[in-house]
Structure 1
């Protein structure tokens, strides 16, 4: 979704022609005794706009536990927009995305397009979005995912219509690399990464961030998803004698970590992505994970209790708030883009999404829709910082102000968030 800057070039002939004409006009004005005044442009009054938001939310399948919070967040965002009296009305149409199996997601998109949705919030999984992105964007409709993390979407051929409020997994690599650099300094590391987890961008970002901190990369092993025996890769990494190891993956993390522990590595020398061992490292000897560092995208839900309390007013049975903040912000951004463009079309929204998120221009920061809308309607540029973070969308539609949580295991092999 990269946009290239275009410089303006005026030919010498054009400039000369313009100068000559300007001279004649100026002379005529002098002879007639008139003075030239710049025309005053009046800002047109904002239109009354109606934006239809399609909610592509899992109500069935493997992801259905996330559906209620996402639905509540979209409903809350629509309520906040409508209550702001900003000459914009948001209507929400919902359809079950299911999971990435079957055709539930494709059928849901057909339903939402028939309802004339201009923007679709979803899907939650990379697999769902890969199934429906072409259908959505080829219809000229914007897709904003609150959960996709695959790097494949950053440079996808989407006609600038795909965006997301969740970060690319490459950002998690940068966060872990920076954390390792801070803790290890000019020491050395090994990286073992599964090829299905954001390969190659996450491990590359991790190594680049660590190297910028002055450290050294001694070994990097990529683990094939179908590999049964990892002993050769693990032995090579241990033989390199790194000061610490980054374990990028999920399925093989426990096996790799136990091998390094058996080789004499302590918990504070082990670094993981994605909470791959779970909240409890129950398969490990007591204390063996003490000090281990883990990264996981997303804000600390305990810091947004005002927001989650409002969600509970909509759905009192909510227990999991995953992707709710990102879904809320997706609707707010689409609404601000509609106000800024004064049009309701996918192309119009897409032309303003980066700007209203603070990714371009020098906007005034606002943290609520009402405040942000006032800035836009006054003819100024807004920089919306949302519940999920600063957002700051780049040319590829990826948030650069996303939050990556840092967790640490204690002596009980249970993690807690430390940043």
Structure 2
């Protein structure tokens, strides 16, 4: 494209979001059986959803043939990227795949000759969670080392504590996992971007899916922060639009360790299904629910707590429970590359989004012929749309250096940015837990914002 977006506050540019989600083609099978009082008993509800499928919607990256041509412009200041991802705190389980995705992206960029003739540098720092001030300290350290972009945080709540600090310094904040709708209208000077879709989309998919699986009534246990309440709002809206009724919603705060009150109040309403919107608090909440007779097939989880619980619960505890994670299913070739970076990986959530963040930043820097954060930001939307499709840094940068316009699509699926820095289309993966308390893919739903 010849006309590039200008870096400017976003609020005046935005209009109301309209969303179109491909609804499930077939019912999940089974239906809840209403009790004599007109409400359904959680212990007796017959929610039955589809068996897992091996089908993946992940994009297969094209292979670049031949050498990558050298950049016609070189920089005296190498591109330096920081990461602000969790190695401690309630989202620490997401840190390893995200960090591996960043490192894989950096490796492939540098294997292809780097950006503007120089290797890209990366500095990793812990984000912690909202119970600590680690994110602020890490951000201060990264900014002090002259980074042009920071990939992170994973938690929307954590990002809210540092977004003004980062963007106020003229540095890009690029999150692979923030899903709070609040960032769409944040006055971020055009410097906040994300490869994870807003929870408007995840909430729509999960709410519709539970209704299609036969649930008529829904209880919700929700983390009281920007992520939890924002996602809960969209889940409720979609579930009720599908004809269901939310009969109970209980909140808890980050740092809480006792959840019996919330569980008891939700179960007293006898919902067919329970949406658990939390981080690792699920380790405490799930046993409380199943211990009181809730069937795992009635439990629906979200990206904040979809994790490997094989070492936390007895076999079968979560068998049949389902949940959603934004993004496509990581394909085998991509998993193999990630495992070469970190052989201990067991979870691949948001690895693709982190990898894509690196590629998009690097490609935008190449197109801008600059490693300055504000210059890179002005080209991020352009490299995501309107040109020749390409799927890897070597392939895309070759086209750029040949003077061609590009449209990068990556491991997280199609990437097309809005003026607000949000992906305008995305997949939401639906997963089901197995007897060993690990999860496998069921299907992916595609939607547009």
TM-score with structure 2 length normalisation? 0.66
SS in 1 for 2:188: coil
Residues 68 and 380 from structure 1, CA distance in 2 versus in 1: closer, same or farther, beyond 3 angstroms?
Answer: closer
Task: Give the structure 2 partner of residue 52 of structure 1.
Answer: 79
Residues 182 and 89 from structure 1, CA distance in 2 versus in 1: closer, same or farther, beyond 3 angstroms?
Answer: farther
Alignment of 1:236-247 (within 5 A): 237-238=269-270, 243-247=272-276
Task: Give the structure 1 partner of residue 321 of structure 2.
Answer: 292
1:349 aligned to 371, 376, 388, which one?
376
1:373 aligned to 391, 397, 419, which one?
397
Alignment of 1:260-339 (within 5 A): 261=294, 266-274=295-303, 276=305, 279-280=308-309, 290-301=319-330, 303=331, 305-311=332-338, 313=340, 315=341, 317-320=343-346, 321=348, 323-339=350-366
Per-residue CA shift, 1:1-26, capped at 9, x if unaligned?
A: 636559xxxxxxxxxxxxxxxxxxxx
Task: Give the structure 1 partner of residue 51 of structure 2.
Answer: none
Task: Give the structure 2 partner of residue 41 of structure 1.
Answer: none
Larger RCO, structures 1/2 (Cα 8 Å, 6+ apart): 2
Task: Give the structure 1 partner of residue 265 of structure 2.
Answer: 233
d(CA) in 1 for partners of 2:263, 2:356: 45
Alignment of 1:10-409 (within 5 A): 47-49=73-75, 51-56=78-83, 61-62=88-89, 63=92, 66=96, 69-70=100-101, 72-82=103-113, 87=116, 89-97=118-126, 99-100=128-129, 105-126=135-156, 128-184=158-214, 188-196=216-224, 198-212=227-241, 214-225=242-253, 229-230=261-262, 233-235=265-267, 237-238=269-270, 243-249=272-278, 250=282, 251-256=284-289, 258-259=291-292, 261=294, 266-274=295-303, 276=305, 279-280=308-309, 290-301=319-330, 303=331, 305-311=332-338, 313=340, 315=341, 317-320=343-346, 321=348, 323-358=350-385, 362-409=386-433
d(CA) in 2 for partners of 1:235, 1:277: 22
Q: Deviation at 1:367?
A: 0.5
Q: Deviation at 1:384?
A: 0.9
d(CA) in 1 for partners of 2:399, 2:11: 26
TM-score with structure 1 length normalisation? 0.70
Per-residue CA shift, 1:87-115, capped at 9, x if unaligned?
A: 55442141433624766544544443344
Residues 334 and 234 from structure 1, CA distance in 2 versus in 1: closer, same or farther, beyond 3 angstroms?
Answer: same
| Contact 2:328–2:429 under 8 Å retained in 1 | yes
Q: Deviation at 1:334?
A: 1.0
State the aligned residue count: 363
Residues 215 and 299 from structure 1, CA distance in 2 versus in 1: closer, same or farther, beyond 3 angstroms?
Answer: same
Gaps of 5+ in 1: 7-44
Q: Which entry has the higher C-alpha Rg, 1 or 2? A: 1
| Contact 2:106–2:358 under 8 Å retained in 1 | no
d(CA) in 2 for partners of 1:111, 1:275: 27
d(CA) in 1 for partners of 2:299, 2:127: 36
Per-residue CA shift, 1:41-80, capped at 9, x if unaligned?
A: xxxx964345512223569645496286255224314315
| Contact 1:280–1:413 under 8 Å retained in 2 | yes
Q: Deviation at 1:138?
A: 1.1
Q: Does 1:2 align with 2:35?
A: no
Residues 104 and 77 from structure 1, CA distance in 2 versus in 1: closer, same or farther, beyond 3 angstroms?
Answer: farther
Per-residue CA shift, 1:150-180, capped at 9, x if unaligned?
A: 4443333321211122334443322212322
Hey, which of these two has a bigger chunk of helix by percent? 1
Residues 366 and 407 from structure 1, CA distance in 2 versus in 1: closer, same or farther, beyond 3 angstroms?
Answer: same
| Contact 2:81–2:150 under 8 Å retained in 1 | yes
Per-residue CA shift, 1:348-368, capped at 9, x if unaligned?
A: 22222123223xxx3332111
SS in 1 for 2:213: helix
SS in 1 for 2:170: coil
| Contact 1:247–1:257 under 8 Å retained in 2 | no
SS in 2 for 1:399: coil
Per-residue CA shift, 1:385-415, capped at 9, x if unaligned?
A: 1122223333332334444332223567664
Residues 348 and 284 from structure 1, CA distance in 2 versus in 1: closer, same or farther, beyond 3 angstroms?
Answer: closer
| Contact 1:253–1:276 under 8 Å retained in 2 | no
Residues 215 and 145 from structure 1, CA distance in 2 versus in 1: closer, same or farther, beyond 3 angstroms?
Answer: same
Gaps of 5+ in 2: 1-8, 15-70, 444-449
